[in-house]
Structure 1
Amino acid sequence: MNGISYGTRTRTSSRVVRWRVTPVGLMLALTFATGVVDAVGYLRLDQVFAGNMTGNVVILGMAATGGTGLPVLGPVMALVFFLVGAAVAGRVLRTALPGWSRRCTGLLGGVGLVLAATALGLAVTGVGAPAARVSMASSLALAMGVQAATARHLGVKDVTTVVVTSTLTGLAADSRLGAARGQGALRRGAAVTLIIVGAATGAALCQVHAGLAVLAAAFVVLAVTGLGHLSARSADPVAAATTRSTTSPTSRSLAPAMAPSPASAPATAPTRPPSASAR
């Protein structure tokens, strides 16, 4: 999947404008959305991470040893719902072919709709009641679990869309100070940068309203879903045309001409008559 890119063409009045939608670009956009969602969870939903499950596990570990003022129910519910979302996506994609498919479109479209519904819930109920905060955090974690499993199926290297720990590890290990391979530095750096920018954007939007931040993340996810679906559809006719060209009548008519002619067949040694002793 890393080597696959989808081409989309837009016609204007004067010329044809070509632009490319790549799996890496789509997953980087989802990484930005994760930064927004995690900022909302931490700042407005009792310090709960919707996408970064490592943070929730660490919080629960500290709370288990007597840490004061640390949330417990929120991180537990977020962890459970994240796993449920990932399991559901894994089940749906179990028999799917590699790359973007209608199932990916359905799953990521569902993520966008869950985020939009959560934004509406935040606008209606707010985050005042503890039960409301836990409910909103759980729905966000469910969406992030589905997103993470779908991104895993798409298989864009170094871009999981929900965490950047492994991305930072690869960035440092392959840098000039490390193995000096220099592989994927731009992609990894972009993933780290975008999750930071997403978190900053989410924090800024939370100053206005938490629902607005989640709505922005929903818009990004739905835009990625639409672009990925349309780009995959535009790539299908190209693949079909390539297949037809390889099996066209012209190519088949050339096949007999490639067969060796009788004149060009190697001559066999003449057979000798049997000797008298054999008779």
Structure 2
Amino acid sequence: MTTSDSSPGADREAARDLALMLVLTFATGVVDAGGFLGLDTVFLGNMTGNVLILGMGAAGADGLPVFSVALALVAFILGAGLASLFLRSDRRGWSPRLTAVLAVSASLVAGTAVIIWAQSTEHVAAMFAVGMTACAMGMQAAAARSIGVADVTTVVVTSTITAWAIDMFARPGRATIVNRRSAAIVSILLGALVGALLVKVALWSVFAVAAVISAVVVVCGYVLASAGAGEQAGV
């Protein structure tokens, strides 16, 4: 008799988590387009860009939004840190605590949409929007790390592009070109495209759409995880 760690239930869970994380990656692209094009050229999810801007600002480069970028970086760190503490004793995978973290993250992005809708791009409102959304993205990143889908962090794709390129050149073929890595890259690219188009409509709509997408992920994740737990309990 042979045993395997892989089972239909485990495969469904892995596919579910991958799909939901790719949707969140798309939402990050939407949010980052809104932040960069509408909120003082700040990245709200991709902190690598913000660190570079801070470095150039420290060298005295003109016209860089140093305060906004620093605020986003601090808020992201705070969100990621608090979420990771909350999830520290949690089991790996989708759990009630992880649902709560992503629900708060979606709520913060929704709050950003409301603030921008009510106050447009008035400076203080814009800073609140930057802080709230960057904090939400930090929480999302911590949640994605807790779920543990390889190569899909939901907020950055530099390491994903590196791994994808290495495998593609080492073992050329469909499997190394079309996979979760390329899906993550395309997801954030399409998200940025949609976000940029929404900026032309109304800045608040960028964050409203991202919040709705995140909320759908929360609901789907909770429902599917609960259904999976029920199936396991019935076995």
TM over 0.5: yes
Task: Find the residue that maps to 1:162 and give its secondary structure.
Answer: coil
- In structure 2, what is the Cα distance between the partners aligned to 1:179 and 1:67? 43
> Which residue identity does 1:232 align to in structure 2?
A
Task: Find the residue that maps to 1:207 and give its secondary structure.
Answer: helix
2:229 is equivalent to residue 236 of structure 1: yes
| TM-score under structure 1 length normalisation | 0.78
Residue number in structure 1 paired with 2:191: 198
- In structure 1, what is the Cα distance between the partners aligned to 2:124 and 2:207? 18
| Correspondence for 1:215 among 193, 197, 208 | 208
Residue number in structure 1 paired with 2:96: 102
More deviation, 26-35/204-213: 204-213
**1:66 CA drift (Å):** 1.4
Bigger-Rg structure (1/2): 1
**1:88 CA drift (Å):** 0.9
Q: Is the 8 A contact 1:34 1:195 kept in 2?
A: yes
Q: Which has the higher contact order (CA 8 A, sep 6+)?
A: 2
> Which residue identity does 1:241 align to in structure 2?
G
2:107 is equivalent to residue 113 of structure 1: yes
Any stretches of 5+ residues in structure 1 without a counterpart?
Answer: 8-19, 243-279
Identity of aligned residues (%): 42
Per residue, is there more strand in 1 or in 2?
A: 1
| Correspondence for 2:71 among 71, 77, 80 | 77
Q: Is the 8 A contact 1:73 1:134 kept in 2?
A: no
- In structure 2, what is the Cα distance between the partners aligned to 1:21 and 1:233? 15
> Which residue identity does 1:239 align to in structure 2?
Q
- In structure 2, what is the Cα distance between the partners aligned to 1:92 and 1:57? 26
Give every structure 1 segment of 4 or more consecutive aligned residues whose post-TM-superposition deviation is greater than 4 Å: 179-185
- In structure 1, what is the Cα distance between the partners aligned to 2:233 and 2:150? 27
> Which residue identity does 1:117 align to in structure 2?
G
| Correspondence for 2:31 among 37, 55, 61 | 37
Per residue, is there more helix in 1 or in 2?
A: 2
- In structure 1, what is the Cα distance between the partners aligned to 2:67 and 2:85? 27
Q: Is the 8 A contact 1:78 1:141 kept in 2?
A: yes
Residue number in structure 1 paired with 2:43: 49
Residue number in structure 2 paired with 1:63: 57
Any stretches of 5+ residues in structure 2 without a counterpart?
Answer: 1-5
- In structure 2, what is the Cα distance between the partners aligned to 1:6 and 1:172? 28
2:173 is equivalent to residue 178 of structure 1: no
Q: Is the 8 A contact 1:44 1:210 kept in 2?
A: yes
Q: Is the 8 A contact 1:21 1:228 kept in 2?
A: no
RMSD, matched Cα: 2.0
- In structure 1, what is the Cα distance between the partners aligned to 2:97 and 2:111? 21
**1:134 CA drift (Å):** 1.7
| Correspondence for 2:127 among 121, 131, 134 | 134
Q: Measured at CA, do residues 163 and 31 of structure 1 come closer, stay the same or move farther in structure 2, by a change above 3 Å?
A: same
Q: Is the 8 A contact 1:171 1:185 kept in 2?
A: no
- In structure 1, what is the Cα distance between the partners aligned to 2:143 and 2:133? 16
| TM-score under structure 2 length normalisation | 0.92
| Correspondence for 1:26 among 20, 29, 39 | 20
Deviations 1:177-202 (A, max 9, x none): 23559558411111111101100101
Task: Find the residue that maps to 2:80 and give its secondary structure.
Answer: helix
**1:131 CA drift (Å):** 2.3
Task: Find the residue that maps to 2:201 and give its secondary structure.
Answer: coil
- In structure 1, what is the Cα distance between the partners aligned to 2:139 and 2:230? 29
